[in-house]
Chain A
């Protein structure tokens, strides 16, 4: 930059005209829109492929010579039908929902208290506690699942949804707490001071002043926690054995493949249906979500 700054006025005008060129349509087309569209197509293609596969009949699915693989010639619900009425899929959905909701509620409760204590009550060493919670997020489940499996077994929780509800908070709580600390920080402390002067107790302040203001933060922490639990795989694979107690990701992978026969139609339908709940939640909250993610990253 220092070399550039020594150059003189003509360069500036040249660069100015360069800016105008940059904004001209054909160039903008090539530099921005074409790559962007390629990115979007690549990111979307696997989903398109899932949908196409899920609604094709088997005859069409394995016949690329008579039918173009890219379209559905005669849509069928046979795969969805098989999934819903001939497998335990509804049961898996229900278990996944139960586990995700319970672990999210538990994690939010624990995280709100912890984040409030760290950010607002400012006890001695609270910064260190905040750092420790952040570090806890960096401990990956693939290191913990073996010792956790032995603990779960000794506690008699093996093959029970409770095993998942209790272990999921290990990765949900650090994340939610971290997010909420950031959120509480953004709420002006003066509001709480006013309430304190008015004679409110600390519990009242938290319940009636801080938490209502923190609702957007709570919602995004809740969305995160819910999707992370919906997505979780390794604990559910290691701690659950009975087919009907499995969560969707594990069950689709382990129960829908019978020996060497892959029912691709049902597999794709299962993957698709299992993705819909989280995708729906996000589509309602995408802007929320992006802003809270950016908030968390900026921390």
Chain B
């Protein structure tokens, strides 16, 4: 009570200079923002800039580089392995995203029904996403084993194939195998996020559509899809971004092989920079990913903004 009285009279009891300063909103905000600023500037913004700079140098492991302008980029421009990695990255991102979203949306719609054991089912669905990527990638590595693949075994038993499938030995087989593993891992995130979106849609909208005589498909296209759009755009941005810059899955299963056929830009950058020792060249490959990333981010944001504008703008 005494403190209430003090607050009313505009004074607070026995405050030192320090605690008065700490009570100043601007001082406190400044102090609270210091750690995050120091951390992100030192280990995020600065290295981002440093990476761009390294791309213009011939830095190697153990030796500082000198400025060589666009030489790394000119070299990469004539490097067929680099272009192969660009091609692979685009194929990988496109196919994996299409399947992840198709299957993820389907799974979300299934989960949106009234189901028994809801918690258990959700826990199972999330499992592939929770387990460290490299560890589940190792499981896929074993599933894709040329000799002891369980998939080959089952297909042989069913009489569909005669010889074991060489999952990781030829270019397109290896690419599809990696995409399948990526889709498997990515479905949970898409499904659970879209499920969250589905649950925010008011049932009255479906009732209204039903009274208007809309079929199940029409309800899906005219109610579900538009209402899901904002979340879809966010999840899509995340998914494209992380698939495009994926490293672990490819490194764990194929390390870019056979014969560079599955190198993504990220794995090629690693290969050239760390084991290869050409830090400058590796950095240039990493920097070459940035335009793609910016483009995809802008694309999904514009899509989202357009959606908002169509819906009347102000709602969040």
Contact = CB atoms under 8 A, between A and B. Distances in A.
A144 B51 contact: yes
B293 A1 contact: no
A214 interface: no
A151 B42 CA distance: 10
A140 B242 contact: yes
Given A126-B29, A200-B3, 15 more contacts: A32-B115, A43-B187, A50-B139, A109-B35, A110-B35, A117-B33, A121-B25, A143-B51, A146-B273, A147-B47, A147-B50, A166-B43, A173-B40, A282-B126, A286-B126
A146 B269 contact: yes
Give the contact-size bracket for chain B: 35 or more
B6 to A, nearest CB: 6
B122 A290 contact: yes
Nearest to B242: A140
B26 A198 contact: no
Given A32-B110, A146-B269, A233-B134, A46 B54 contact: no
A114 B33 contact: yes
A40 B1 CA distance: 59
Interface in A272-299: 272, 274-275, 278-279, 282-283, 286-287, 289-290, 293-294, 297-298
A286 B122 contact: yes
A202 interface: yes
B23 A202 contact: yes
Given A36-B110, A147-B48, A170 B43 contact: yes
Given A146-B282, A146-B286, A43 B128 contact: yes
Contacts of A250: 134
B132 interface: yes
Interface residues of A, number: 103
B70 interface: no
Contacts of B297: 138
Interface string B50-64: 110010000100000
B314 to A, nearest CB: 16
Majority DSSP secondary structure for residues of A touching B: helix
A117 B216 contact: no
A252 interface: yes
A279 B127 CA distance: 7
B44 A136 contact: yes
B130 A278 contact: yes
A46 B184 contact: yes
A177 interface: yes
A189 to B, nearest CB: 14
A62 interface: yes
Interface string A214-238: 0000000000000100110110011
Contacts of B178: none
Interface stretch (B78-86, B169-177, B245-253, B302-310): B245-253
Given A111-B36, A133-B36, A201 B19 contact: yes
A271 B134 CA distance: 8
Interface in B7-47: 7, 12-13, 19, 22-23, 25-26, 28-33, 35-36, 39-40, 43-44, 46-47
Interface in B258-316: 266, 269-270, 273-274, 279, 282-283, 286-287, 289-290, 293, 297
B76 interface: no
A105 B150 CA distance: 42
A53 B143 CA distance: 10
Interface-centre pick from A174, A196, A279 (highest chain B CB count, 10 A): A279
B136 interface: yes
Contacts of A109: 35
Contact of B289 (A46, A123, A143, A279): A143
B68 interface: no
Contacts of A272: 135
